[in-house]
Structure 1
Amino acid sequence: MDTNDKPTLVVDGLAFAEGPRWHEGKLWFSDFYTHEVKCIDADGKVGTVATVPGQPSGLGWLPDGRLLVVSMTDRRLLRQDGDKLTLVADLAGLAPFHCNDMVVDRHGRAYIGNFGFDLVAKETPRPTVLIMVTPDGKAQVAAENLLFPNGCVITPDERTLVVAETFGKRLTAFDIADDGFLSNRRVWAELGDAFPDGICLDAEGAIWVASPTTSEFLRVHEGGKISSRIPSEQQAIACALGGSDGKTLYMVTGRVGRADKSLAERTGKILSLRVDVAGAAW
């Protein structure tokens, strides 16, 4: 990647986008405040895939190809069956506040984060849990005492899960057992002033991190070394690696704020930039 390269605009006019995923030749994402899951095809055409009244966030897919989507404000995991959304699991008994990002493994197990507190009301941050939902709909705590568990990745060997602790200002890793349970918690990288939001993993084991507070996308290595920084004109919200060769970094930007203001201003964008290392993991 040439540090002088300028990002290309993919789409703008979004209320507040999150959860980008490259899947089957398309870029998928959630637009919180329009309550829509959208995708962009190879020709740049944007289509609406699903409408989620409780605000969509994290996206993933079951082994049979059906879409899973996190419904934020009512704290539920939904599955798209044809033209309708079906409840997979009610997470309200485990998540104390809005749910957010998610990663789904090849078995269909979904790992889902949540705020843990009312961010918009400026409550004091407090620890919460990472939730695992099995394909049969059983929801259980996978990890405790996390400060705003957000973006997650699973390594290609399926043995390690890394989660962004937004208010912990770190990436935290766990070993994944055969049954999906997590153990051997450890700090993967301390991030200084960066509050990590969405993340994605590349084939060299580095993690791209969206940092809203510093308005940049960081390529971080285990231990905390930062090898690339891409500044953003707005807050950096989330990222995904995709494209035909996996070397296009999709960068979601916007402004964290109230729904009414976001809907009125429509400042959300997705930009792209070619990078040297392709994406990896789930």
Structure 2
Amino acid sequence: MTEPDVLLAGLAFGESARWHDDRLWLADWGTGEIRAVDGEGRSEVVVRLDAETLPISLDWLPDGRMLIVEGPAARLLRREPDGSLVTHADLSGVGGYYNELVVDARGNAYVNGGRGDFSDPGLIAMVTPDGTAREVGGGLQFGNGMAITEDGSTLIVAESWGRRLSAFDIHSDGGLGERRLWADLGEGTPDGICLDAEGAVWFADVPNRACVRVAEGGEVLETVELDRGGFSCALGGPDRRTLFALAAEFRGFEEMAEDIAARTGQVLVSQVRVPGTGRP
């Protein structure tokens, strides 16, 4: 596969890549911005929050309203049709911090996080459409990207520190079954993920500077090499055969403020054979 092309540069830390309404959407950490980028690289700031609130992840309810994870505040925001932001759910009673979000076809929102810091066993909270939150899964080693299969039956979760992808059956009430191993990634460190129509998962990898496509069980099918850390990826474009990768230089959490100021974040694009599917 050829080297990816740069679609957009000058981001701080792009995260939570989502293809929606013919544009790529992302949360730009360090700036408090939710951006939408078209196929020509034109970027629009759609939501602007205080950078300290750290909008971490985003997805949409079936009616088109956007949800935003306000990580340190343990809160899920909802963007109304007039652009105003309201609290969709207070998650502080379930956990202390939150990371990635994915919403199913019924409007149930799954958010992973933990009770303390990233060293704690992580959990998954489910928020019903009326804003009720409860814990539905646990035991994660730094839960990161999540995706739901096209038929809505399975939630797949990246565990960055566990170097694995785990899967949960989704029950009729939105609850989850027991965690099971979907793929042992060896030295792979998964961050954001997305699914394709052959049932494979693409995961972005920060320390290994790549986006990697794996089959269930862990067989590596394809690799897109990056020149900086891969934080998130999404399959989009007119036929969902464009792999969008969000990448940036990252030297560790201790140096994160300087890395944000350096603005090394980019949106990179590659063409792939198998189109995307599922949610997000």
TM-score (norm 2): 0.94
Measured after TM superposition, the shift of residue 69 of structure 1 is 0.8
| Match of residue 122 from structure 1 | none
CA distance in 2, matches of 1:182, 1:255: 35
Work out the percentage of aligned pairs sharing the same amino acid. Answer: 42
Which of the numbers 115, 123, 136 marks the counterpart of 1:142?
Answer: 136
CA distance in 1, matches of 2:120, 2:156: 20
Measured after TM superposition, the shift of residue 24 of structure 1 is 0.9
Q: Classify 1:269/1:115 alpha carbon distance in 2 versus 1 (closer, same or farther; 3 Å).
A: farther
Q: Classify 1:117/1:229 alpha carbon distance in 2 versus 1 (closer, same or farther; 3 Å).
A: farther
| Match of residue 263 from structure 2 | 266
| Match of residue 169 from structure 1 | 163
CA distance in 2, matches of 1:51, 1:95: 25
Measured after TM superposition, the shift of residue 21 of structure 1 is 0.3
Alignment of 1:38 with 2:35, yes or no, is: yes
Alignment of 1:85 with 2:82, yes or no, is: no
CA distance in 1, matches of 2:204, 2:217: 17
Which secondary structure does the structure 2 equivalent of 1:197 belong to?
strand
In the comparison of the two structures, how many residue pairs are matched? 273
Q: Is the 8 A contact 1:194 1:212 kept in 2?
A: no
Which secondary structure does the structure 1 equivalent of 2:258 belong to?
helix
| Match of residue 247 from structure 1 | 241
One-letter amino acid of the counterpart of residue 110, structure 2: Y
Measured after TM superposition, the shift of residue 68 of structure 1 is 0.7
What whole-Å deviation, never above 9, does each CA across 1:46-78 have from its counterpart, x for those lacking one? 101112331112111111111111112212100
Q: Is the 8 A contact 1:52 1:71 kept in 2?
A: no
What whole-Å deviation, never above 9, does each CA across 1:140-181 have from its counterpart, x for those lacking one? 101011111110110011111100011111100011111111
Measured after TM superposition, the shift of residue 115 of structure 1 is 5.5
Q: Classify 1:255/1:139 alpha carbon distance in 2 versus 1 (closer, same or farther; 3 Å).
A: farther
Q: Is the 8 A contact 1:216 1:229 kept in 2?
A: yes
| Match of residue 9 from structure 1 | 6
| Match of residue 183 from structure 1 | 177
CA distance in 1, matches of 2:28, 2:169: 32
Q: Classify 1:115/1:194 alpha carbon distance in 2 versus 1 (closer, same or farther; 3 Å).
A: farther
One-letter amino acid of the counterpart of residue 179, structure 2: R
Q: Is the 8 A contact 2:95 2:116 kept in 1?
A: no
CA distance in 2, matches of 1:277, 1:266: 32
One-letter amino acid of the counterpart of residue 275, structure 1: V
Which of the numbers 198, 202, 206 marks the counterpart of 1:204?
Answer: 198
Measured after TM superposition, the shift of residue 43 of structure 1 is 3.8
Deviates most, 257-266 or 63-72: 257-266
Which secondary structure does the structure 1 equivalent of 2:190 belong to?
coil
User: Where does structure 2 lack aligned partners over 5 or more consecutive residues?
Assistant: none
1:147-158 to structure 2, matched below 5 A, reads 147-158=141-152
Measured after TM superposition, the shift of residue 259 of structure 1 is 4.9
Q: Is the 8 A contact 2:94 2:115 kept in 1?
A: no
TM-score (norm 1): 0.93
Alignment of 1:221 with 2:215, yes or no, is: yes
One-letter amino acid of the counterpart of residue 87, structure 1: T
CA RMSD of aligned residues (A): 1.4
Measured after TM superposition, the shift of residue 116 of structure 1 is 5.4
CA distance in 1, matches of 2:198, 2:114: 30
Which secondary structure does the structure 1 equivalent of 2:216 belong to?
coil
